[in-house]
């Protein structure tokens, strides 16, 4: 973070944007309440003592499920005894991830600066009393015909950070928080046809926020649902991710200081249009299209399974800081992602993670597919009588691709087809497809 940007950010912290909200929703006084249990009375006494220690007002009651972030931000400001609360950036464009009928949605989020809050709250803010909160709202919807269980472990990662960030319960009403609504006591249950909406907050100290702005974005993992909460093999669909746009904080700082600003593409659209291999789904970096072909439709039979080559994409891949070490031996990276359709006419389920393939270039150089970049779980199958997608990914050195390979022939040999126990069900047969 350059010095100018730090000065701009400091200036933003000194500007008060959020006005007090919810003044008409005061809690009833103790005299107005009916007799409570001794446990509840003790809890209220503890809360009053804490307010006296921090010198803060008791926060006004808010409807934490209304989606009104203004009230929630005012609640955070009052609870932490912050001098100011400033919205640095907000997004109301939902990001959704479907998991075979169970949908996780990041409905909205705000990056909120908190200035000079009480030291009692400093630990999750990297022991600092200036910082920011990424305030989010999620909705998990179960559109299947059976009950599911969803553990809301929505961890946020930032390239270059030494830790992952998780929900901080102490600054918002607990009853509206997603990890409170879906918890071990109710076995994270979401009944068929129902949905659960809740908040989630990620605290960042001031220095961590500078790092996030420099990195440009954060990635929040959307875990899978399960039909059995105690059996990971019953997971539904694949995990996904959501993007928090920190680069726009820097952009708005520049605008507020009337400096030159170059518009940038929204981070949520960076990998739009690319095959959903692990690099796309888990937001491992940025892709740029080099060559692609769709609608090929060439089919071959492997036993009782029809394998169809649907298309392929050559992309230049720039890994983010977190993923860069795994590609450090390459002089730039080109990914070849190949899209197959499998029509399973066997009596068994096909295990997607157990199918391998080989890429041969110019009849002289070959490599196996990179299974870690498709990231199929053991439970991911194409059921008997059904059709589905199979992606295969290969990693190429960009310097070699540009100088030696890009105009040569590319051939894929795929198979045999294997069931969910990795047993060969196509009698060793393999199919060969010519890409170009």
Higher pLDDT, 256 or 81: 81
15 and 118 part of one domain: yes
214 and 128 part of one domain: yes
Domain end among 204, 234, 268: 268
Q: Distance (Å, rounded) from C-alpha 273 to C-alpha 403?
A: 27
Kindly state the tokens that stand for 311.
């298309």
Q: Is the pLDDT of residue 288 over 50?
A: yes
Is cis: bond before 416, omega within 30 of 0? yes
- Closest to 128 measured CA to CA, from 203, 39, 33: 203
Length of the chain, please?
436
- Closest to 265 measured CA to CA, from 288, 294, 237, 298: 288
154 and 292 part of one domain: no
Cβ atoms of 242 and 98 within 8 Å: the answer is no
Is the pTM value of this prediction over 0.85?
no
Q: Write the CATH number for 327.
A: 2.60.40.1240
Q: Is the pLDDT of residue 284 over 80?
A: yes
Number of domains in the chain: 2
The mean pLDDT of 8-30, rounded to a whole number, is 39
For residue 51, what pLDDT is reported?
45
208 and 283 part of one domain: no
Q: Distance (Å, rounded) from C-alpha 403 to C-alpha 433?
A: 24
Alpha helix (H) residue ranges in 257-403: 278-281, 398-400
* DSSP 8-state code for residue 418: B
If pLDDT is split at 50, 70 and 90, which confidence band does 357 have? very high
Q: Mean pLDDT across the chain, nearest whole number?
A: 83
Domain end among 219, 245, 268: 268
The mean pLDDT of 378-389, rounded to a whole number, is 89
211 and 345 part of one domain: no
Q: Could you read off the pLDDT of 169-201 as tens digits, one per residue?
A: 999 999 999 999 999 999 999 999 999 999 999
Q: Is the pLDDT of residue 31 over 80?
A: no
250 and 289 part of one domain: no
288 and 365 part of one domain: yes
- Closest to 391 measured CA to CA, from 370, 407, 406: 370
What 3-state DSSP class applies to 252? Answer: helix
Alpha helix (H) residue ranges in 364-434: 398-400
Kindly state the tokens that stand for 125.
């803010």
Q: Where are the beta strands (DSSP E) in 120-177?
A: 131-142, 148-149, 156-157
408 and 298 part of one domain: yes
Share of the chain above pLDDT 90, in %: 63
Cβ atoms of 362 and 297 within 8 Å: the answer is no
Computed over its alpha carbons, how large is the radius of gyration of the chain? 26
Q: Distance (Å, rounded) from C-alpha 78 to C-alpha 43?
A: 19
Q: Distance (Å, rounded) from C-alpha 127 to C-alpha 346?
A: 59
342 and 383 part of one domain: yes
411 to 101, 142, 340, 434: CA distances (angstroms): 36, 42, 14, 5
Provide the residue range defining the domain that includes 301: 275-434
Q: Which residues 6+ apart lie within 8 Å of 128 measured at CB?
A: 122, 205, 206, 207
Cβ atoms of 353 and 381 within 8 Å: the answer is no
Q: Is the pLDDT of residue 168 over 50?
A: yes
Burial class of residue 122 in the structure, from the number of CB atoms within 10 Å of its CB (0-12 exposed, 13-18 middle, 19+ buried): middle
Q: Is the pLDDT of residue 34 over 90?
A: no
- Closest to 157 measured CA to CA, from 112, 113, 217: 217
If pLDDT is split at 50, 70 and 90, which confidence band does 375 have? confident
Q: Distance (Å, rounded) from C-alpha 260 to C-alpha 76?
A: 33
Higher pLDDT, 436 or 295: 295
């Amino acid at each position: 973070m350059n010095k100018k940007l730090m000065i701009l950010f400091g200036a933003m912290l000194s500007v008060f944007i959020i006005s007090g909200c919810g003044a008409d929703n005061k809690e009833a006084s103790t005299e107005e309440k009916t007799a409570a249990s001794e446990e509840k009375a003790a809890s209220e006494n503890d809360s009053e003592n804490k307010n006296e220690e921090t010198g803060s007002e008791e926060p006004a009651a808010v409807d934490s499920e209304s989606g009104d972030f203004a009230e929630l931000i005012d609640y955070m400001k009052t609870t932490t005894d912050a001098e100011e609360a400033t919205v640095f950036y907000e997004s109301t464009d939902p990001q959704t991830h479907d998991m075979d009928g169970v949908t996780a949605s990041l409905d909205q989020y705000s990056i909120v600066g908190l200035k000079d809050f009480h030291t009692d709250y400093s630990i999750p803010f990297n022991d600092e009393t200036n910082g920011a909160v990424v305030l989010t709202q999620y909705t998990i919807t179960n559109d299947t015909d059976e009950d599911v269980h969803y553990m809301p472990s929505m961890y946020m990662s930032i390239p270059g950070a030494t830790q992952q960030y998780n929900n901080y319960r102490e600054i918002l009403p607990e009853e509206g928080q997603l990890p409170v609504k879906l918890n071990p006591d109710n076995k994270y249950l979401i009944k068929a046809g129902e949905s659960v909406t809740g908040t989630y907050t990620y605290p960042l100290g001031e220095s961590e926020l500078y790092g996030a702005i420099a990195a440009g974005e954060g990635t929040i993992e959307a875990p899978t649902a399960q039909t059995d909460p105690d059996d990971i093999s019953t997971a539904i669909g694949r995990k996904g991710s959501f993007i928090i746009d920190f680069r726009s904080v820097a952009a708005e700082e520049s605008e507020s200081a009337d400096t030159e600003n170059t518009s940038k593409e929204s981070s949520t659209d960076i990998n739009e249009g690319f095959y959903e291999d692990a690099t796309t789904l888990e937001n491992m970096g940025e892709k740029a299209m080099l060559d692609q072909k769709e609608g090929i439709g060439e089919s071959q039979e492997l036993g009782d399974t029809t394998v169809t080559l649907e298309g392929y994409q050559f992309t230049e891949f720039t890994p983010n800081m977190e993923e860069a070490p795994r590609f450090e031996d390459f002089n730039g990276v080109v990914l070849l992602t190949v899209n197959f359709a499998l029509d399973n006419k066997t009596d068994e389920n096909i295990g997607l993670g157990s199918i391998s393939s080989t890429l041969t270039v110019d009849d002289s150089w070959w490599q196996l597919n990179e299974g870690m970049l498709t990231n199929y779980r053991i439970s991911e199958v194409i059921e008997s009588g059904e059709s589905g997608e199979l992606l295969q990914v290969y990693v190429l050195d960009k310097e070699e691709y540009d100088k030696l390979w890009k105009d040569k022939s590319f051939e894929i040999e795929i198979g045999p087809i294997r069931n969910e126990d990795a047993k060969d069900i196509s009698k060793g047969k393999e199919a060969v497809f010519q890409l170009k």
